[in-house]
Amino acid sequence: MSASRHAKPRVIVTRRLPGEIEARMMELFDTRLNENDHPFSKAELIAAVQEADILVPTVTDRLGSDVIAQAGERLKLIASFGTGIDHVDLDATRARNIIVTNTPGVLTEDTADMTMALILAVPRRLAEGERLARSGQWKGWSPTFMLGHRIYGKRLGIIGMGRIGQAVARRARGFGLAVHYHNRERVHPDIEGELEATYWPSLDQMLARMDLITIHCPSTPATYHLLSARRLKLIPKHAYIFNVARGGVIDEAELVRMLVAGDLAGAGLDVYEHEPAINQKLLKLDNVVLLPHMGSATLEGRLDMGEKVLINIQTFVDGHAPPDRVIQD
């Protein structure tokens, strides 16, 4: 960055970050924080890209081509605080020679933990039981009370066997689940052996034979409605589905219809197609556990993300390629 040795770059951060990360940003750069933590409007995002040398957005900031087109000449880096980059129009940033970075790899274990929490919670009816215990309506134990389903020995189908998918597989083996997976490419035989995982080249065939299905693929044009209405209908009625990836990977309207009709046993959802809006029909279903996009929400994870953002910015300011530059396929 040409002015880096003479003046601190102007950095605009769109949401509140952990305090120690914000403090270091204020120390290192000419930083403007979002003190109120309100989501930026489109007009505020446009103003930010016009004023900043470096923008630090989050996954909730929609940086489409219409916003990027209005960026000032000084904007050279978008250092996103998050792993997913579906909120940034990469064609538009490339056309403007704006580098985009993300924070990969640091949320793997946290997201896998939350996935396993949902895999346990839905079949064993944990959320239902917790609500009943708090309600004061519990009348005592009986042999047929709150019966759920055993997960030990069940077949788990993992869609997307990257870092998070593999971390889920390791946890699943500890609970006695049989691990199956579908991926764009088959993983290395050593990884398959370690995870005792069975590869399915056909997603359709895998879906039809699983008891539990969990989604761990990124949001891209190719994965939009990957679980389409047609594919959802392939899933057995006794099966459960879990999504801690991105809402748009599932045809949510069809998923809701099937859950309401009893064509699926249940679901655990941390993400939604039109979040933060949640389909009202989902709110009425006891066999669905709903979370507010908190799959990666640990203090440790957020600090690790902040460290990556700082490293990406400082490396760029020092005139080098940032380590987490997003390379468009």
Q: Is 246 a catalytic residue?
A: yes
The sign of the torsion formed by the CA atoms of 174, 177, 178, 180 equals negative
Question: Which among 163, 209, 231, 293 is annotated as catalytic?
Answer: 293
* 275 is an active site residue: yes
- 195 Cβ contact partners less than 8 Å away, ≥ 6 residues apart: 166, 169, 170, 173, 179
Q: How far apart are CA 274 and CA 181, in angstroms?
A: 27
First to last CA, the chain: 25
Catalytic pick among 128, 194, 275, 307: 275
Beta bridge partners of 78: 55, 100
Q: Which of 125, 171, 182, 246 is catalytic?
A: 246
224-227 long-range contacts, CB within 8 A, separation 24+: 224/248, 224/249, 225/249, 225/250, 225/251, 226/159, 226/250, 227/159, 227/251, 227/255
Instruction: In whole angstroms, give the CA distance from residue 312 to residue 102.
Output: 8
Closest CA to 245 of 127, 81, 114: 114
Residue 163 designated active-site: no
Return the active site residues. 246, 275, 293
